[in-house]
Structure 1
Amino acid sequence: MSEKGWRGADLVFDLDADHLPGVDPSETTYKAMLAACKDALRRLLDFLEADFDFDTIRIVFSGGRGYHVHIRDESIQSLDSDARREIVDYVRGRDLDTDGLIRVASKSGTTQRLLRTEGGWGRRVHRELTALTEELRDLDEQSALDRLTEFEGIGEGRAETVLGAITRNPDAIAEGNMEAGGPGIRLITDALADRVADEQAAPIDEPVTTDTHRLIRLPGSLHGGSGLVVTPIDRADLDEFAPLTDAVPDRFTGTDIDIEVADPCRVDLSGDTIKLDRGVHSVPEHVGVFLMARGDAAKVTA
């Protein structure tokens, strides 16, 4: 044992609906929680594919309330916990600093401060800035000014300056020019960056990614809290993947069992919605296993 040593570990991300902002497990159905988690998964994949250019990505439905994403690239398997934490901070948008999204460029003898539009968080912020300018161009002048003054620090004067720049020189905004529109455009960009960090970050479970000794649930096994299969998903099939249908074990279909339900409940599985009152019921086996695994029912024995 003394000769054994750590050789490396996959980079693993865990998304769990219990940890998603705005999701209250006590108020949200299991089906809705999984849908919210898939949206978060798409945001995570955007970071991993577009920003990090990883191509050895394995996506797995956890069998419970979320998804696991494995990066099996030899170049990252030796990363220690601190290095993995930097990746966590990036995808979570932690301490996102607008200054870091701006580069200085020289054009025709003048220095310009430009938002990084080619990728990363700069691309996301620029996308929101572009959407805002398009929204403003579709409004009448007074409505556009009112919209701009909704941003903190933007009074009537700054709103007029920003709107004038958008109207006269839309190409500058499209290029990410942080000087077009005066100080107001930077204040707006700061506000958009804060919003983008809140809305587009990937709310992963940090300890799973930073722990280089973490054991992850084995694909093909059953999740003990649901009776569903831990299911690998091809990237191309993600949009069509329906966990409450595709992860139901074949072994538990085609047979009914008797269970006793403690409290009224609703189950969405295999495309069916089953509502049960308190008491004894005969249900499809996969429904019974699901409820028993969650502690909501007990099997009735003869």
Structure 2
Amino acid sequence: MTSILPPGQNRIVRSLIRSYYERAELYLPFDMELREFAFQPLSGGSYVRHLSFQTAQELREVLLREVPGHVFYSSAKYQRPSARDMEEKGWMGSDLQFDLDADHLCEPRKITFCPVCGKEVMGERCPDHDVEAREYVEIPLDCLRKTWDQAVLLSRILKEDFDLSPRIFFSGNRGFHVLVECSGDCALMDSDDRKEIVRYVMRDQVPFRGVEGDPGWAGRQEGGVSVDEQVTVDVHRLVRIPGSIHGKSSLLVKEMNDFLYDISLSPFSGKAVLLPFITGDFLLVDRQFHLNKGEPVSMEAGYAVFAYLKGLGEVTYYVR
């Protein structure tokens, strides 16, 4: 019988992630001593927040001890970043962050199934085996590319209309982040100021400052950019650390100048064996795989860990 471990409890996967963080090049803000750090365990659950580090090595030691699924620093700079009360932290300003998710632009494929019998189910539990159902979400590649195009358009608006210097990052899962490292007046914008920028880039009854007829105007007029408003207006928002692993995919958070979505985003090499929980055809990163429930399949480790974190099966063997 297949062993159904709680998500995040696979020893092989934890070992691979830990090994990655032993050598990982994490891209941290130059003023990291002013930032709050946080992580979420690989198994999910509550965030561990209000952490403060003086050096990258201090952070690495925590990553090797905890092996988290998600790692963040605050967009805000604080006088006392480890204070547990937001008022006591002493806010000094925040970077400007935008979140663009592919599932806000397109309809993803969703399957809710029982990891024991592999049958699709309605609701949160399998009625036959009384175990928690798993939801698999698959984003088409063309949808990710559309999201990238939106990120590029947003970046251009911020550059040309606001004279800012945005950077685009793959989120590690199903979207992109556009980040502006702020100082001066930019950093001191409050939530209302940031909301005005959101309204502007989303074309929410705010006229563009650009000149009609210039390249890109048609795309702007078509409806602006779809962003998650709550991410941008929240001056205490967390930012995924570039170079870290996204715990729902195993792919890296990575700065991008051109669209990229393939297995090179996985930090794992070698081969692994996946024991599927379900039968069907699935897009694992950039390749289609046919899986048969209970039939072990050998594949590149990057695909196997991706499938595991998507809930499709268990990683049972790994060879470097």
* TM-score > 0.5, shorter chain as reference: yes
2:291 corresponds to 1:276: yes
CA distance in 1, matches of 2:148, 2:225: 11
State the one-letter code of the partner of 1:225: K
2:115 corresponds to 1:6: no
Cα distance change, pair 69–127 in 1 and its aligned pair in 2 (3 A): closer
8 A contact 2:139–2:174 mirrored in 1: no
Question: What residue is the counterpart of 1:26 in the other structure?
Answer: 109
CA distance in 2, matches of 1:66, 1:83: 25
Q: Could you say which structure has the higher strand fraction?
A: 2
2:210 corresponds to which of 117, 120, 127: 120
Cα distance change, pair 127–284 in 1 and its aligned pair in 2 (3 A): closer
CA distance in 1, matches of 2:142, 2:238: 27
Shift of 1:74: 0.8
Cα distance change, pair 35–279 in 1 and its aligned pair in 2 (3 A): farther
8 A contact 2:94–2:182 mirrored in 1: no
2:265 corresponds to 1:208: no
Shift of 1:260: 1.8
Question: What residue is the counterpart of 1:146 in the other structure?
Answer: none
Question: What pairs with 1:164-183 in structure 2 (closer than 5 Å)?
Answer: none
Question: What residue is the counterpart of 1:243 in the other structure?
Answer: 261
8 A contact 1:33–1:65 mirrored in 2: no
8 A contact 1:259–1:288 mirrored in 2: no
1:53 corresponds to which of 153, 156, 163: 163
CA distance in 1, matches of 2:92, 2:109: 41
State the one-letter code of the partner of 1:245: I
Question: What residue is the counterpart of 1:293 in the other structure?
Answer: 309
Question: What pairs with 1:34-73 in structure 2 (closer than 5 Å)?
Answer: 34-55=144-165, 57-73=166-182
How many matched pairs? Answer: 204
Cα distance change, pair 284–3 in 1 and its aligned pair in 2 (3 A): closer
8 A contact 1:263–1:296 mirrored in 2: no
CA distance in 1, matches of 2:248, 2:182: 31
8 A contact 2:275–2:293 mirrored in 1: no
- What are the superposed Cα offsets for residues 8-52 of structure 1, whole Å, 9 maximum, x if unpaired? 1100011111112xx101287432221121111121112112211
Q: Unaligned stretches of 5+ in structure 2?
A: 1-82, 111-137
8 A contact 1:262–1:297 mirrored in 2: yes
Instruction: Determine which structure has more spread, i.e. the larger CA radius of gyration.
Output: 1
CA distance in 2, matches of 1:212, 1:254: 41
1:231 corresponds to which of 254, 275, 278: 254
8 A contact 1:267–1:287 mirrored in 2: no
Q: Could you say which structure has the higher helix fraction?
A: 1
Question: What pairs with 1:135-174 in structure 2 (closer than 5 Å)?
Answer: none
CA distance in 2, matches of 1:231, 1:196: 26
2:199 corresponds to which of 89, 103, 108: 89
**RMSD, matched Cα:** 2.8
State the one-letter code of the partner of 1:292: Y
Identity of aligned residues (%): 35
CA distance in 2, matches of 1:202, 1:297: 36
Question: What residue is the counterpart of 1:254 in the other structure?
Answer: 270
3-state DSSP of counterpart to 2:92: coil
- What are the superposed Cα offsets for residues 106-156 of structure 1, whole Å, 9 maximum, x if unpaired? xxxxxxxxxxxxx5274569955xxxxxxxxxxxxxxxxxxxxxxxxxxxx
CA distance in 2, matches of 1:289, 1:37: 24
8 A contact 1:17–1:66 mirrored in 2: yes
State the one-letter code of the partner of 1:226: S
Q: Unaligned stretches of 5+ in structure 1?
A: 102-118, 129-194
Cα distance change, pair 30–292 in 1 and its aligned pair in 2 (3 A): farther
TM-score, normalising length from structure 2?
0.57
CA distance in 1, matches of 2:104, 2:148: 13
Cα distance change, pair 216–41 in 1 and its aligned pair in 2 (3 A): same
CA distance in 1, matches of 2:217, 2:242: 37
State the one-letter code of the partner of 1:243: Y
Shift of 1:63: 0.2
TM-score, normalising length from structure 1?
0.60
Shift of 1:200: 4.5
